[in-house]
Each structure stands twice: as C-alpha cells, then as structure tokens.
Amino acid sequence: MQLTSTQSIASALALASCSLIGQTQAAETVPANDDWKVDAAIMYYGEQDRVQAAEAIGNVQKAFGDSSLLDLKIVVDSLTGASASGAVAQAQSQTFTRPSGKGEYTVKAGDTPLDDTFHDTRVQLSANWQEILNQDWTTNVGMYASKEFDYLSMGLNAGVERSFNKNNTTIALSGAFTNDVVDPVGGRPVALSEMVFSADYNSDAEYQAAFDQTRLNGDDTKQTTDVMIGVTQILNRNWLMQANYGLSSVSGYMTDPYKILSEVDLNGLTQGYRYENRPDSRLKHSVFLMTKGALDSGVVDFSYRYSTDDWDITSHTLETHYRYYFSPSFYGQLHLRYYQQQAAEFYQPFLMVGDALPEYASADYRIGDMTAYTIGLKFGQRLSGGHEMTYRLEYYQQNPDSNGTEIPGQLQNYDLFPSVKAIVAQVSYSF
C-alpha cells in the first residue's frame, strides 16, 4: 500500500511538473514581477442611417504585493446621428418640434421618423480595489461616475468572495447602489402631453408659453440597487461553470424624455404626437449560466441568461465565444449571440385617437418585442514582452416585432418595425 501511495504521489508530481513546463509559454506573456497591466481599446459602433458612436476605453491595473489590486478605468464616448423617436411613418412628410423646443425637423413621406438631434459626449471613470484577505476570502470595493450633457450617474459597489472545497468552489456576493440625475434638453416632458408646433401660434412668446406647458421644471433622479449572488465551480480539469442570480431594483425617472408616440385615427392618419411615460419603479431578476472550457488549441464558452421584470419584459440570451490558436501567438475567435425579448406591458406602437389615455405608454422599440443577433470575429496577436494586439469586427442586427396590436388603415403600407443593422469595429492593445 505504501508503495502504491508513493507511486501515486510521484506520478502526480511528474504530472504537475509537466503542467508547469507546459505553462512556460503562457507565463512569459505575463511576467510575474510586472505589477502593472494596461488594456486600451478604441471602438466604432455604426448603425445604418442611424446612430454612430466612437468609444475609447482604458484600464490600468496595479498590483500591490500579492494581495491587493487596484483597477482604474476611463471611458470616453461620443455619439451622433439619428435615433427612432417612436412616431410611425406616414404617406405625407412629418414635422416634429425638437426636444429643446427650439426648431423643428422634418421626416420624408414613408420614412420611419428618426430624431437627428443627438450629439453627446460621455466620460466615465471607475475605480475598484480588490483585497485578498486570506486563502478563502476576497473582498472588493469600487466607485463609478459617468457624465454626459443631460445625465449624471454615480455609484458605489462592494463584494465578497468565499472559496472552499480546495478552491474548486467560489461563492460571490456583491451589491451596488447608483444614483442618476436626469436633466433633459428642453426639460422633462409632462407625461403624455401633446407636442406643440410654432406654426400653430401667432407669436414666439405664445408658442414658448404653450411649449413650457408641456415641460416640468428642474431635473429628476433615479436610484438603482443591485444585488448579485454567484457560484463558480470547477467541474473537471478543463471545464468550469458559473451561475449568477441578480436582483435589481430601480426607482425614479425612467421615462425616455426624447421618445414620443403618434396618435392615429382609424385610417392610420396621424393626428398628433404625445410624449411617452414609463412607471417610476422597476424590479428586475436575472439568472446567468455559463460554462467555459480549456481546449487543446483554444477556449470555448457558452452562456444563457434569463431576465424578467415587473414591466413584463422577459428576455432570453444565448451566447458563445470560441477561440482557436493558429499558433502560440496568434488566434482567431468567433462570437455568436442570440437575443429574444418580450415587450413591456405598456409598450404600444402608437396611440388611437378617441381611446382613453393610458397611465403609461411608450413606443420605444427597445422595450417592444424583438429578436437580435450578433456575429463577430476577433483576431489576436501576441507580441514580444507580453504585449497583445487584437482586432474585432461584429455585425449586430435587431429585428423588432409587432406585439399583436391591430394596424389601422394606411399604416399597413409601412414597415412599423424596421430592422436596425449595426457594425462594431474595435482595436485593442494590452501590455
């Protein structure tokens, strides 16, 4: 018995040394005594005829000894282009008052109304401190701030992780609190108030007085509390799995101040436009399951997310990344994602003239029925000194669907649920 046990230890040691030798290449890319790690990326996101965005992101990680890690991140993005306003296409051209109340824009006959007012730059900063307390316990705390012209978001987060079962199992509990301040251009619209037009008034002063009647003074806030519990489990020598449950409670201003609904008659003719209104509380649940495996010449992961909330938005997301190493320093990666969403209970593509106004209504396709898919390719090149350069190109398409609303008259001639097609291009550098 003694002999067998010694043999088994010897073979285990031999196996362990082989593994260490096998790791030499990987270890070279991340020198153990290098306390700094920098990741930077530039991304372009462009929708056909709609939003264009450029985003730069930088992340610096600094280790202090073996137990402390500081993470600093900065994101700067710039947005321009047009976004669906929520109004429906018509046989005639349509004129809309800009959200600021100053000026108008016109949409051609037959076109889906897009509001081209959007130009925004956002800066986001975040910092996170991770402390390994001992072999079993790790904690982290962080803060977050994001500022754009009409929006400020600030948050705190903290988490704790406990490892057991020879570090094969980790349970993580984390929480975050975020306070957002919304200060829309032109003010917050009065819920479901009617859009006014300067052409209907005799003077600018009269128009301005009427416009002001559709607006509320001052900014508004939104508070988000997130709690998440997750389990990560090593299954065998190559595979691990992760399961998360997340609860998110949001209260405050969640209306999109720039979205409207067309009010149409039985022939489908638009008689006016009203500003949308959403509930001021939302409770969301999510379950996320992922498995990730180390392959001889690559890595693969599969994940599924289920999300549901008291707005009745339910979604299913399936996603996979598959990486293949053509050589030790060059890889290609395929990314596939499928998303399916069920509309919020108050979503409706338009309002009907003569119907009683609902308390809440939004024609924002992003909370309507929808499927979406992403297909992406990424290539990574490991350079000398542990540097790495990657290129990513993805195609993202959203296919909004009808929620079953009966489409009256001339509206049947138009695609009320047009697809949105976007390209994502990204270059990243790490050292």
Q: According to CB under 8 A, which residues from 225 to 244 bind another protein?
A: 226, 228, 231-238, 240, 242-244
Measured from the CB atom, is 19 or 413 closer to another protein? 19
State both tokens at 332: 């290609």
Q: Count the Cβ atoms, other than its own, within 10 Å of residue 182.
A: 19
| Smallest gap from residue 147 Cβ to another protein (A) | 9
Is 38 a binding residue for another protein by CB under 8 A? The answer is no
Whose CA is closest to 194, among 277, 269, 138? 277
Whose CA is closest to 246, among 303, 281, 302, 289? 289
Rounded Cα–Cα distance for residues 55 and 426 (Å): 9
Nearest-Å Rg of the Cα atoms of the chain is 26
Rounded Cα–Cα distance for residues 48 and 112 (Å): 13
Interface with another protein (CB under 8 A), residue total 105
Interface residue with another protein among 15, 91, 109, 266 (CB under 8 A) is: 15
Interface residue with another protein among 7, 92, 168, 271 (CB under 8 A) is: 168
Interface residue with another protein among 89, 90, 118, 130 (CB under 8 A) is: 118
Measured from the CB atom, is 116 or 212 closer to another protein? 116
| Smallest gap from residue 396 Cβ to another protein (A) | 7
Interface residue with another protein among 139, 405, 410, 428 (CB under 8 A) is: 428
Is 174 a binding residue for another protein by CB under 8 A? The answer is yes
- Those residues with Cβ within 8 angstroms of residue 81's Cβ, 6 or more apart along the chain or in another chain: 47, 50, 51, 52, 53, 116, 118
Interface residue with another protein among 26, 377, 383, 425 (CB under 8 A) is: 26
- Those residues with Cβ within 8 angstroms of residue 217's Cβ, 6 or more apart along the chain or in another chain: 187
Is 309 a binding residue for another protein by CB under 8 A? The answer is yes
Residues from 119 through 138 that contact another protein (CB under 8 A): 120, 122, 124, 126
Residues from 371 through 410 that contact another protein (CB under 8 A): 372, 378, 392, 396, 398
| Smallest gap from residue 104 Cβ to another protein (A) | 19
- Those residues with Cβ within 8 angstroms of residue 330's Cβ, 6 or more apart along the chain or in another chain: 379, 380, 381, 382
Residues in contact with another protein, shown as a per-residue x/- string from 315 to 334 under the rule CB under 8 A: x-x---x-x-----------
Interface residue with another protein among 86, 260, 366, 414 (CB under 8 A) is: 366
Measured from the CB atom, is 128 or 198 closer to another protein? 128
Is 57 a binding residue for another protein by CB under 8 A? The answer is yes
Report residue 305 CA to chain centroid gap: 14
Measured from the CB atom, is 122 or 201 closer to another protein? 122
| Smallest gap from residue 344 Cβ to another protein (A) | 7
Measured from the CB atom, is 233 or 410 closer to another protein? 233
Rounded Cα–Cα distance for residues 374 and 336 (Å): 6
| Smallest gap from residue 144 Cβ to another protein (A) | 4
State both tokens at 74: 């900065």
Report residue 380 CA to chain centroid gap: 24
Residues from 235 through 294 that contact another protein (CB under 8 A): 235-238, 240, 242-246, 248, 256, 258, 284, 286-288, 290, 292, 294
State both tokens at 297: 């010449």
Long-range CB contacts for residues 403-408, cutoff 8 Å, separation at least 24 = 403/343, 403/347, 403/348, 403/349, 403/368, 403/369, 405/348, 405/349, 405/350, 407/268, 407/349, 408/264, 408/265, 408/266, 408/267, 408/268, 408/352
Interface residue with another protein among 105, 129, 339, 431 (CB under 8 A) is: 339
Interface residue with another protein among 74, 127, 269, 299 (CB under 8 A) is: 299
Interface residue with another protein among 5, 33, 166, 354 (CB under 8 A) is: 166
